[in-house]
Amino acid sequence: MTTRTTFPQNLQPLRELMPTLLAHLESGHEQDWYAFVWLEQTNRLGFTAARSENTDLSSDRGMVFRIMANGVHYERSTNQLDAAHLQTLAKAFRADVEQQAGVITTPAYRPTTWADECAAGMGAETLVQLPEDLTTATEVTFGVRCTQLPEATSMKGLSTLARDLRTSLQQRASEYIAAHADAGLQPFADIMVMARQQVTVNVFVDREKNIAQVLPTTLFYAMAATATGHTSREVMGGMGGLEIAALSEQQQQDLIELGFKLNQAQKLVPGRYPVITGPDVTGVIAHEAFGHTQEGDTWMKGRSIAKDLREQQIRVGNDQASIVNQADVFAMGDDTHGTNGSYFFDHEGALARPQVILDRGHLSAPMTDLASALHFNAPRTGNGKRESWRRPLMTRQTNTYFTPGDQSVDSLIGMVDYGFLAMQAHGGMEDPKGGSLTAGTSYLEEIKDGKLTGRLFLGPAGGHVELSDPVFDLLDKIVAKSSTNNPDGIPENKYGGCGKYHKEVVSAGCGGPFILWENVNCG
């Protein structure tokens, strides 16, 4: 049975103050300006069971005032949230913008109304939570369905979860060493298990809407580290309660065996090979391939090759090359929970709606935040995000995935004479202007004559392996994709994060099916 997360009472006084603060910002300027007020709170609880045990309890809360005037988005942010200070700050900010913006020459943005939103349609999880008789003053709260509500999570509970799993993994490692006594295996340097839960609450208030969302994410991370520095890992994480924090018997066994095997892995001879990527690595390719390139602010700055390609209707991949960005992923693959890149509305109050950013090799219009949507007169797609209230807002991806295909994983493996399976992502980077891409994988598993051999390979220098090719070449080399059991057609998306170039870290899920690529440069 599932229950939705609810709005925390400690934030209710601030929520009730926000319309007043909005009035301080824009009252009398509605014809010239557009303003909103944003509140965020992130509470985090974590326990690490390892050679050094650690607890973590943090709460971060801040408010952003936005005034858009003459095409410039002015913002003032603070975490000093007493009512008197906020009112003083809002008034002072308004006065500053009046001085800086000068005579208004750019038409003011008119925010979308509830009627506009309903006419445009919205996801089922969003729609079902809308009260009837919506007005501009209606406080709407969107919650996520959880089996175990986060209010019930305690540090004690997390410590028990983490320690129990660590003990189980240590036991399995001892048994594995005993069962392979002739192999001379060395014990792991450490086995670490981290259990963490975070609840983020956002409130957005502009002249048309007063909306909030309560987003719980849970992460269960287990890692075995060898004395030579190699690590194997299993990550269970996503949007939901502690029900996510479980590793199956098979996952535990795989983690231990992988750790020992990595110590004996060979070094890859650099070259081009057929590669099958699992959802983790597939997701990184989706995110890096035409994810960043399709971010509206990157288009707006003239920094993306995608704008010209779309305008010239140049195809950039084969029939299998379809990528979706979707914020409202609350179930995927075989899982009933969503991923950590999910939300109901973005950090500028735009409701989440899925967008096909690459459709069988054809590029769509970009994902947008408010600034880039206005710049291109393009639809708002709900991709305005910021690292936190401390940082600027940019166009960012939510959950990016390749659409599924029609093959089984075994049949994909059966198509490979000699090649590799890449299961564990290890970073990635895009060049939106140059069209190159690199996706890392911690290791490769050999495929020979249509079967996995169990032999592992590290990079040529003994580290991770980089898969690297020009994006267009890569997307033209998709041979086949695996299918999904999800009736909505959303494949498995992994817990993840993203930096824009090298900073501004945000939550971002990514995933997709197993994909067989014809040949990829591996080094």
Partner 1 sequence: MSLRTHPVVNAIRESLVASHTQAGDTFYGWKLSVAKKQLAQTLMLGDSIVGLKPYQQRSVEDLSYTLFVYARHGEHQGVGNITLDPLQPFTPQIDQAFSNAQLASNPPWDLAQPSDAAYAEVQTADPLLVADLAGAHRGMQQDVAAKAATAEGVNINSAELFTTLTETYMETATGISASKQVSDIYFEIALEKLPLPNTEEVLQYKKALSIADANLGGFIDDAIAEALDIGKSNLPDTQDNATILVDKHCIAALLEALESQLNAQAEYQKGPHLLQGDLINTLERHPDSDALTVTLDPFLPVMACSTPFTGEGIPAEKGIMIERNVVKHQAVDSRMAAYLDRNVNAVCGNLVVSLGSASKNELIAQEDDCIEIVAFSSLLVNDSTLTWSSEIKLAKHYRQGKLLGMIKGGVVSGNIRENFSHFALSNESAVLNNIADAFSHALGYVGPSAMLIKAGVKIAGK
**Footprint of partner 1 on 248-277 (CB under 8 A):** 270-271
463 binds partner 1 (CB under 8 A): yes
Least separation in angstroms between residue 148's CB and partner 1 is: 19
CA dihedral for 14, 17, 18, 21, sign (positive or negative): negative
From edge to edge, which strands make up the β-sheet containing 355-359?
A: 362-363, 355-359, 323-325, 399-402, 509-511, 493-494
Minimum Å distance from CB 506 to partner 1? 10
Distance CA 295, CA 470 (A): 19
Stretch of 23-31, 126-134, 334-342, 500-508 lying at the interface with partner 1 (CB under 8 A) = 500-508
393 binds partner 1 (CB under 8 A): yes
Q: Which stretch binds partner 1 (CB under 8 A): 175-183, 403-411, 487-495, 502-510?
A: 502-510
Binds partner 1 (CB under 8 A): choice among 233, 315, 362, 433: 433
The only residue of 231, 342, 364, 383 in contact with partner 1, by rule CB under 8 A: 231
The footprint of partner 1 on this chain (CB under 8 A) covers a number of residues equal to 83
Contact status: 427 vs partner 1 (CB under 8 A): yes
Q: Does 79 bind partner 1 (CB under 8 A)?
A: yes
Residue ranges of alpha helices (H) inside 197-274 are: 249-262
Task: State yes or no: residue 9 binds partner 1 (CB under 8 A).
Answer: no
Place of tokens 């983490």: 162
Largest Cα–Cα distance in the chain? 82
Closest by CA position to 174, among listed 244, 224, 124, 211: 224
User: Among 29-37, 111-119, 141-149, 220-228, which window interacts with partner 1 (CB under 8 A)?
Assistant: 220-228
Q: How many C-beta atoms surround the C-beta of residue 313 within 10 A? A: 8
Q: Does 81 bind partner 1 (CB under 8 A)?
A: yes
Q: Does the footprint of partner 1 cover residue 105 (CB under 8 A)? A: no
> Which stretch, 104-112, 134-142, 253-261, 435-443, contacts partner 1 (CB under 8 A)?
435-443
Under DSSP, the state recorded for 50 is: S
- Identify the H or E element spanning 24: helix 12-26
For partner 1, give the closer residue by CB, 78 or 483.
Answer: 78
- In this complex, which beta carbon is closest to partner 1, that of residue 178 or of residue 503? 503
For partner 1, the binding residue among 150, 241, 349, 459 (CB under 8 A) is 459
Strands 436-441 and 355-359: unpaired
Instruction: For residue 95, give both structure tokens.
Output: 């006065």
Secondary structure element (H or E) that encloses residue 279, with its range: helix 279-289
Q: Note whether 435 binds partner 1 by CB under 8 A.
A: yes
Residues 331-390 that bind partner 1 (CB under 8 A): 371, 387, 389-390
Q: Which of residues 106-135 bind partner 1 (CB under 8 A)?
A: none
Residues near 106 by beta carbon (within 8 Å), at least 6 away in sequence = 69, 70, 71
Q: How many whole angstroms separate alpha carbon 336 and alpha carbon 433? A: 37
